[in-house]
A and B are shown apart, each in its own frame.
Chain A
Amino acid sequence: MPTVDIRELRKKFGQFEAVRDATMSIGNGEYVSIIGPSGCGKTTLLRMIAGILRQDSGDVRFDGELVNDKPIEERGVGYVFQDIALFPHMNIWENVSYGPRAKGEPIDHIRAVTLEMLEMMKLSDRYRDPPSNLSGGMQQKAAVARAIAHGSKLMLLDEPLSMLDARVRSELRFELRRIVKDLSLTAIHVTHDQEEAMAISDRIFVMQKGVLVENGSPSDLYFRPTHLFTAYFLGESNILAGRMEEPGEDGCIVRIGHSQLRAIGMSGAKGSKVAIVIRPELAEIDGETDDNRIGGRVRAKYFEGSFLRYVVEIGDDLFLRVKCRVDESGRGHRVGEQVSVSVGRDHVRVYEFPAGGLNKEIRG
């Protein structure tokens, strides 16, 4: 259960700055994830922490000890890859027990550790199978078991679930978290899947173009993101251009199209252009709040399982997506219907308008 301290890590590939001044402190037993779009530098960062890749500058410390000059095999980390990397010619038992065997641990210890891992992963009855007999989910669990059996207290996971079926993926998330917590490991988990990050981590680091833009608990980042990019990347957001009408630290009034909205967030100068973020699931059609009511017309409606998604036109070429719960009988609002969208003041968040425009800021 080591702590991990990273100070101003940098890595360039040719002219391309893959990671810029990455600094992070991870506590004992913490489950942390690093999220960002492909190419943002998150895997490069993880590889530098693991010792697979050497940074150009900056320091990596485990439990306060500088490990810059140690190769991966001396850092005592367990690394789990996106592609399941079990030894195909070994059965599950041999795979999981590989680390302690290679280190020449006593037989009793090898047996105890391997058994414990297999039980924890619910793979006990498959120990004689070759990897190819197991489903993808089981194989990846065996790979995690092998990494833990190796004796490492720090798990580095690089997109460990992304090759698996969606169904398996969504179940394995919670299992991974449970295992890491039960064994008091520290974990750093890289993923592009924001829902996975929310489900699995104590804390999320958001990365964009080589830079760690912010970090926080899943709730904080989701409901109170400091950066516009976080609002875009984590979950779904309506991001609209508007104007600041009345700034204020404890609440402000902004304008989108013909609507005036009570909002919170950064206090820009009166009349300045701002970006306004509203989560589709925090807005309602004919909801209870009186903070904001925006008239509009339903332009489209999509069934998405547990949610209905409405696209409501609230002005000229201005659309608001609203996600509502559905039940089997309720068909909801019709396309073309005039409705009133309500949003609490706390759920209308205002950000400085990005200098390069909205699209450039959020999509790169």
Chain B
Amino acid sequence: MLPRIELQDVTKRFVDVLAIDGISAVIDDGEYVCILGPTGSGKSTLLRLIAGLANPDKGEIKIDGNRVNEVPPEHRNTSLMPQNYALFPHMTAWENVAYGPTSRGVDPDEIARRVSTLLKTVRLQDWAKAYPSQLSGGMQQRIALVRSLASGAKVLLLDEPLGTLDARLRLDLRRYLRRFAKDFGLTVVHVTHDQSEAISIADRILILRHGRIEQEGNPRAVYFTPKTLFAASFVGDRVLLEGVVREVRDEIATVEVEGAGEIRAKSRGLREGELTVVAIRCESLQLADHPAENLNRLSGRVIEIRPLGAYFRYSVELQGGKRVYSHVSALQALSNSLRVGSQVDVCFAAQDALSYKYPERGLALEVEAF
């Protein structure tokens, strides 16, 4: 399969901000890629460079093997759905969706078929004759989404396509978006700040930070083996424990966590005496009455229990005052006897704890806690 989009050392500066800092990446034909990063990481800029709405200061962008740096947006075979989409106010929902294929001279029967299918998939078939002003914000967003799908371009560029929708609808549309892209053989670059959206939807995720690629990989790899502390803190819900490496043996570090005790974690290249931050996924922290022998164990007290739907979030204050959060599946939470105030052991496997070198500029700045 030929790569559809190639970026070579792409750089873009806005006055004094280096928005994109020498990015090289390849996106394959038919691949669904999510660009994931916090506000200001450069993800929308990258998308606009691919679309041709901005030009790189340096580097090359290729689509279907051809350099497109000098090619205007309308000749790139891409379709961009910007974050602040604008529907044509004087056209009905139907006309808005039909606009792209109509102006490209697609056969009317095919347009009718396409538009009606698209409206159905976003459950707006009954609103085909409504004007944008008669639709709610969420409905307008859905129309904008299917409008960009209707033009027939093979490369779809989506900037926070689900961002302003109801949470409920957002979940439903994730699966729909991916299936739609696969059914139509589209190549998709989808920008989002929502890690769970990226994980559910993408073939591959590029984590962007300060205009550089922090990590790339499939959802499993990104989720289970984040390469940096930033990636670990950004993807999935993790507890971060600060400590000192006391010993390393067989790639397992013994880390002393101040006040709370010693734990074992994957050493990931760290050496004895180094300061470290150990990251553990909240769902790997078990609150077991009889934990298996070889697990780490830190004792504490339950201070809050919040049911969040599929899981319950238990806040546990460890000895020494550090708070950790254990995500217990709803089925387990409904059957255990823990209450606020219960003494509890927080247990986890060394394999589920990843050590990272303590960041030079401090933990809070590194993980962009606010």
Contacts and interface: CB of A to CB of B under 8 A. Distances in A.
Contacts of A222: 307, 309
A196 B368 CA distance: 21
A303 B199 contact: yes
A233 interface: yes
A210 interface: no
Contact of B169 (A37, A141, A282, A305): A37
A295 interface: no
B42 to A, nearest CB: 14
A199 interface: yes
B195 A281 contact: no
A202 to B, nearest CB: 11
Interface in A272-316: 279-282, 284, 287, 302-307
8 contacts: A141-B370, A165-B194, A166-B193, A166-B196, A236-B309, A303-B199, A303-B200, A328-B352
Given A166-B193, A193-B167, A363-B123, A137 B370 contact: yes
B306 A218 contact: yes
Interface string A198-242: 110000000000000000001100110000000001111000000
B193 A167 contact: yes
Contact of A279 (B199, B282, B330): B330
Contact of A194 (B168, B224, B281): B168
A304 B199 contact: yes
Given A37-B166, A171-B370, A363-B123, A195 B308 contact: yes
Contact of B309 (A38, A39, A135, A195): A195
B166 A282 contact: no
B237 to A, nearest CB: 8
B39 A199 contact: no
A122 B369 CA distance: 11
A26 B317 CA distance: 31
B137 A281 contact: no
Nearest to A201: B306
A306 B311 contact: yes
A325 interface: yes
| Number of chain A interface residues as a range | 35 or more
Interface in B285-326: 306-311, 313
B359 interface: no
A135 B167 contact: no
A262 interface: no
B204 interface: no
B345 interface: no
Contacts of B308: 195, 198-199, 218
A165 to B, nearest CB: 4
A167 B234 contact: yes
Contacts of B169: 37
Nearest to A309: B200
A291 B220 CA distance: 34
Interface in B323-343: 327, 329-331, 334
Interface in B202-228: 219-220, 223-224
B228 to A, nearest CB: 15
A140 to B, nearest CB: 10
B3 interface: no
B112 interface: no
Contacts of A165: 38-39, 193-194
